[in-house]
Structure 1
Amino acid sequence: MVTAVVFDVGETLLDDSREWGAWADWIGVSRHVFSTVLGAVTAAGRDNAETFQYFRPGFDVARERQLREEAGRGEQIDDSDLYPDARPALAQLRERGLWVGIAGNQTARAAELLRALDLPVDKIATSGEWGVAKPSLDFFARVADMVPDGPGETVYVGDHRDNDVVAAKAAGFRTALIRRGPWGYLWADDPLVRRDADWVINSLDDLADLLAPR
């Protein structure tokens, strides 16, 4: 029986377009070119942070993120960044009695910004706060600690084959991949996704009826 649902953040709840565009602007590359290289990195199944190395070898993402903050050009998250189905789906799941959480590979600052949105969830946590990131099993151990009934009764929802579906399944969670964002579209029919995803969905609106039908 599913009693909890935990969501990834980027390209699951949030449209990352603004943040990637801000990075392109920061390093002085056209958004089109940056997006194209990011797509190539994605298609190769590599970490998206590698995108920066094509433009600035040795690029230190953490350091540059701090410089962006100091320059007043840091992370921004508001309701306009949420996918239209995000808030309604979170609310509907809670209304049907499920515990709802958010846990993704995001900065501690992103956690603050997400909490400021007053989303209808029980808990929000990020890798930046925990000091451990997906796809590490240690990350999912932290997720298991935060949910009420452990991983076997929890669905982890995300858009990424390796970080979300495969890693969460290895940690004992049930999993759903959303066909959204570059990773979700590319990997929705991947053999590893077919092996490890309990569901592949096209919208977060699908979850309530799948997990807690009336």
Structure 2
Amino acid sequence: MIRTVVLDVGETLTRDDRHRAGWADWLGVPRHTLSGLVGAVVVDGRDNADAIRLLRPDIDVAAEYAAREAAGRGERLDETDLYVGDHPANDVFPAAAVGLLTAHLRRGPWGHWWADDETVRQVADYSIDSLFDLPDLPGLPGLPGLVNPGRRGGSHG
């Protein structure tokens, strides 16, 4: 029986194509060029950042990352992204303040404590009891592979 699911961040919770596109734009190269190089270095068993080093051999990736952030061109979410969190002050309010759609998750102590708070209910675009409620939210594309907890089996791949 599965008791816990732990999710990877890259390409699981976030889309790496947006990350690579931002780097390509920053470096002034076509997006498909950087994407292709990422594929090449991954197949070769190397670090993704080696794709950037192939384009700019003397680059200090960490320093360049900081420069992108300082210039306002770093990692970002936008109004098409849904931020799901249980804590109003740490999750829902800051995400809503920068224009993200938000879902307050009634899970864990914070989620339950704040579930009926009027301000949380007004600020959050959605209130959900489980991550399994996500596919049912209006305007949210289907989430393939999310298995309903009441269903046994499902595809394994």
After TM superposition, the score normalised by the length of structure 2 is 0.53
**1:48 alignment partner in structure 2:** 48
Q: 1:38 to 1:4 in 2, by over 3 A?
A: same
Following superposition of structure 1 onto structure 2, how do residues 5-24 of structure 1 map, counting pairs within 5 Å?
5-24=5-24
Cα deviation 1:152-192 (Å, max 9, x = unaligned) = xxxxxxxxxxxxxxxxxxxxxxxxxxxxxxxxxxxxxxxxx
Q: 1:78 to 1:8 in 2, by over 3 A?
A: farther
Q: Which has a greater percent of helix?
A: 1
**1:59 alignment partner in structure 2:** 59
Return structure 1 stretches of 4+ with deviation > 6 angstroms: none
Q: Which runs of 5+ in 2 are unaligned?
A: 85-90, 96-101, 109-142
Give me the CA root mean square deviation: 3.6
Q: Which has the bigger relative contact order, CA under 8 A and spacing at least 6?
A: 1
Percentage identity across paired residues of the two chains: 43
Q: Which runs of 5+ in 1 are unaligned?
A: 88-111, 124-201
Alpha-carbon separation, structure 1, partners of 2:49 and 2:40: 12
Cα deviation 1:56-81 (Å, max 9, x = unaligned) = 11322221111011111111024635
Greater Rg, structure 1 or structure 2? 2
After TM superposition, the score normalised by the length of structure 1 is 0.41
Q: Which has a greater percent of strand?
A: 1
**2:34 alignment partner in structure 1:** 34
Match of 1:206 among 136, 147, 152: 147
